[in-house]
Amino acid sequence: MSTTAENVAVVRRFIDQTVNGGDLSVIAETWAEDMTWNGGSLGTFDSRDAYTAFATANISGAFQGMHLEIHEVIARDDKVVLRFTNSGTNLGPLMGRAPTGKHAKWLGIGIYTLRGGRIVEGWFAEDIHGLILQLESD
């Protein structure tokens, strides 16, 4: 059984190396194969392969220089909650929209559930409306 501190370390590794570092191979080391990623308007992915394809399109496709800044971590037992700001420059298609070349910054909250040292479920609420407004502004 993983401790709370170990679970926080797994989530931070995923953020630092995958989201901020672009190393998509870390997904296989931090997320369980049968994981579920719930992203509200961005959809739900019920396997690591499906989530990896989504992450590839966003981390190395829609945005360049993605960076997630963690503002707060709350953790207990198998749950790790992050309050964060995400940012990047839109250089690829995003949700059916053409790239804008604009840099955007948006708020979010993620709730991770871990078992056996891997993330098995994630729930995310991000200010996608605010993101789109930034990309469409003049």
Alpha-carbon torsion, ordered 21, 22, 25, 30, to 10 deg: 60
Range of the domain at 111: 4-136
Q: pTM for the whole thing? A: 0.89
CATH value at residue 73: 3.10.450.50
Is residue 138 classed exposed, middle or buried when 0-12, 13-18 and 19+ CB atoms within 10 A define those classes? exposed
Q: How many other C-beta atoms lie within 10 A of the C-beta of residue 35?
A: 21
Per-residue pLDDT of the chain (138 residues; tens, 9 = 90+): 579 999 999 999 999 999 999 899 999 999 999 999 998 777 899 999 999 988 887 766 788 888 999 999 999 999 999 999 999 999 988 888 899 999 999 999 999 999 999 999 999 999 999 999 999 987
Please count the structural domains in the chain: 1
